[in-house]
Structure 1
Amino acid sequence: MDGSAPDALVDELNAEFEKSHPGMTVEYQIQQWNGIQDRLTTALTSNDPPDVIELGNTQNPQFSAEGTLLDLTEDKASMHGDQWLPALAESGAWEDRTYGVPFYAANRVVVYNTELFQQAGITEPPRSRQELLDVITRLEQTHGDDPDFQSLYLPGQSWYALLSFIWDSGGEVAVEQDGRWRGALDTPESREGVQFYQQLVQHSRTSAPADTDEAEPQQAEIYAQGDVAMMIALPWEVQTAAEVNPDIAAISSAFPIPSKDPAGTAPVFLGGSTLAIPAGSADAEAAKDWLRLLTEPKYQTMLAESGVVPGAMQDTSALATDPVSAAMATASKAGAVTPPIPQWAAVESGQNPLKDMMTAILTGQKSVVIATTDANRAITDLLAAP
């Protein structure tokens, strides 16, 4: 996929593969994410599919269940399976079999403006939820007279950030019971996470819309103006902000999303990609060799140096040189994924009940209890679809 791996890594990997496979050539094609679901479906059901494909980790379960991917369970050990990121390994599995090899991952952190923190006398990032609230209070006390200031820019529908607080409270968005998946937002634990998100929005007095996510408007462009102290973001959003304001990168740092427990960090949604071999591949053994090579420490280190969490190497020291990437690497240890089932795609891509739930709560249309109950029913219905 576009932007997944540096050109230098791909070129070196393919050259090494071709050297060890005389007479064989790698044809490497870049695809765009927009519209990829349909293109993958067409390719996987064709008579001549690619030998290796990249999948978003939430796409892997659907194609695994459809039988269009090759079972790699017996090859896992030779592909450094003991080093795979647990959350990505989970998304690449279906019914206790392995169909996807972890490629790379990224997760959200709290990006912050170091100058605004320093001006407020804050010398250490918060390590717990309560400390995060205390930091917001101190920031408001120092900068609150500035009408453009926001201690935390947090849109109402940033549901990936919401997941962290639900999971940290011991809740889930869905659980499996007796072979069926159902929503789990109606538990005390899940509701506690939702209430903390609501508390953050109210406490920070953010001007972010309650009815959109971080992409509308682009929160990185809001942060770039220099009046926002914090945003919950992916690391590369700092570079997006720097395209608007080149000075912002030098005064930006990050810390993991704080947990209730000061000794840990909140679980984070581990977004990323897996690599799979189509069941109809004409050269599956060579494809396996290509994947074995990619999962070697040499190439996993190159992935880390490009600023992502490598999928098949638990040593993330290569990310330590950049404070934002370092925070991402630390947080990734508590990485988690949404339910690894084909039906989850309908929750994300349709009228996402989690988004509707948070908008209803933050605009006062519904209480937390009623909104979570309604969202829970909608998720259960979506997951019950064939």
Structure 2
Amino acid sequence: MKRKLIAAIGVAGMVFGMAACGSDDDSGDGKKAGAEGYAGETLTVWTMSGSNPPGWTKTVTDEFEKKTKAKLKIEVQEWNGIQQKVTTALSESNPPDVLEIGNTQTPAYAKTGGLAELGDVKKEIGGDWADAVNAPSVFDGKQYALPWYFGNRVVMYNKKVFKDAGITETPKTRADLFKAFDAIKKKGDAEPIYLPGQNWYFFDGLLVGQGVEPVKKEGDKYVSNLSDPKVAAAMDVYKQYQSYSKAPKDKDEATPQQAEVFAKGKTGAIIAMGYEAGTAIKANPKLEKDIGFFTIPGETAEKPEGVFLGGSNFAVAAGSKKQDLAKEFLRIALSEKNDGALVKEAGWTPKSEAGQKYAVGQPAAEAAGPAAKAGGTTPLIPEWAPVENPPNPIKSYMTLVLQGKSSADAAKKVEGELNKRLSQQQ
């Protein structure tokens, strides 16, 4: 399993890379890729709620329709229940042509045979992408998707709360950060950090930092690895963070939305994605001037904390009857220009060194960069897909530890369910 990512990426912003806009060569079905080549056709693209910002969407739509003379129909999907919806769609005779798929979910869909190979398009437009950025798009040595965007978490903090507690310098180590939390706690006017007990992706970053996987391979199957001492060490760090929070131990960061809690102005920090600042500002516009970001600090100043690099890929349904038109969409959507526009508008992480220039001036993006270089993902195996379906057994493990069980006992409590899910691919 490849876990380490981003050997050569910096700053933070959305995703994309070098690209070409396609050519006017004959396509496989005898049509021309240029003017009038696809007149009268409609390409259906599924994206997830919140993924495609309005500026990027308008630009890509206009370019696609001008070049191909076809119509672009973007259908926004909700995250709840999306895995089953995608699985069903890919098995039908008339699936959406292009789909946004979570990067760590791609291997599961690829194994079913539901995705078209895209190696030719990758060679054409993704020559400068860091290898690790592309890793979640590859299964069994073949390219079944193209990386669209990814990002990692940072510390989003309230400058006023930190200043009022006498904190004048940005924490550079984990110990520095905990000292800052102690100062905020002593001041008594705010909660040092809002961290619910089931912020699973933050915990996965701590696992990355410890160099350990939540699963391991035994013979020809994957099983729980939660009993590994390194998993316990990562959970100990999480427990230290959570000790400064009054957040519920059995909820995640979306219940309630942590950015809305932060917006009340009585929270020192949250572990957040950059876009969550927008949520907080929408809830409390007066807070905008007080929001800052810094890299999640590690044990030493030289090495930031490990982070989970989450994001999405674009895939083409194997059952689509518009393969060439779908590839035209990918060439346009993943062009360097549109990639850069998406970085600026959405604040994710560039896929290449060349894309770093688009993230300059994005505070959250700049804070995410140092950690992104050594970040990682969840296990890139088809067996992983069912694990994160609610109720995620690893979240249950986290809650059990925070409620007082030892890491070993908590692992034993959930490993049966985790192993069951690992044996039942979706």
TM-score by structure 2 length?
Answer: 0.82
Describe the superposition over 1:90-109 as per-residue Cα deviations: whole angstroms up to 9, x where unpaired: 22221121111111123221
Shift of 1:254: 1.1
Identity %: 34
Query: Which of 264, 271, 282 is equivalent to 1:243?
Result: 282
Contact 1:168 1:260 in 2 (8 A): no
Structure 2: 5+ residue runs without aligned partners?
Answer: 1-46
Distance 2:217 2:119 in 1: 23
Query: Which of 303, 306, 315 is equivalent to 1:264?
Result: 303
In structure 2, the residue matched to 1:359 is 399
Shift of 1:186: 1.6
SS in structure 1 at match of 2:150: strand
Gap change, CA 1:177 and 1:272, over 3 Å in 2 = same
Distance 2:268 2:131 in 1: 31
Gap change, CA 1:217 and 1:293, over 3 Å in 2 = closer
Shift of 1:277: 0.8
In structure 1, the residue matched to 2:82 is 36
In structure 2, the residue matched to 1:49 is 95
Matches within 5 A, 1:38-117: 38-84=84-130, 86-87=132-133, 89-117=134-162
Contact 1:105 1:270 in 2 (8 A): yes
Gap change, CA 1:176 and 1:320, over 3 Å in 2 = farther
Matches within 5 A, 1:326-365: 326-364=366-404
Matches within 5 A, 1:152-301: 152-202=193-243, 204=244, 206-301=245-340
Q: Which letter does structure 1 place at the counterpart of 2:107?
A: P
SS in structure 1 at match of 2:76: coil
Distance 2:363 2:290 in 1: 11
Aligned-CA RMSD value: 2.2
Contact 2:344 2:362 in 1 (8 A): no
Gap change, CA 1:267 and 1:96, over 3 Å in 2 = farther
Distance 2:295 2:218 in 1: 32
Structure 1: 5+ residue runs without aligned partners?
Answer: none
Gap change, CA 1:13 and 1:200, over 3 Å in 2 = closer
SS in structure 2 at match of 1:54: strand
SS in structure 2 at match of 1:27: strand
Shift of 1:155: 0.9
Shift of 1:208: 0.6
Q: Which letter does structure 2 place at the counterpart of 1:160?
A: Y
Distance 1:310 1:168 in 2: 19
Distance 1:199 1:217 in 2: 22
Shift of 1:176: 3.3
SS in structure 2 at match of 1:216: coil
Gap change, CA 1:217 and 1:32, over 3 Å in 2 = closer
SS in structure 1 at match of 2:223: strand
SS in structure 1 at match of 2:264: coil
Residue 175 of structure 2 is aligned to residue 130 of structure 1: yes
Distance 2:82 2:242 in 1: 34
Distance 1:271 1:263 in 2: 23
In structure 2, the residue matched to 1:325 is 365
Distance 1:198 1:312 in 2: 32
Distance 1:301 1:85 in 2: 19
SS in structure 2 at match of 1:336: coil
Distance 1:117 1:196 in 2: 22
Contact 1:93 1:100 in 2 (8 A): yes
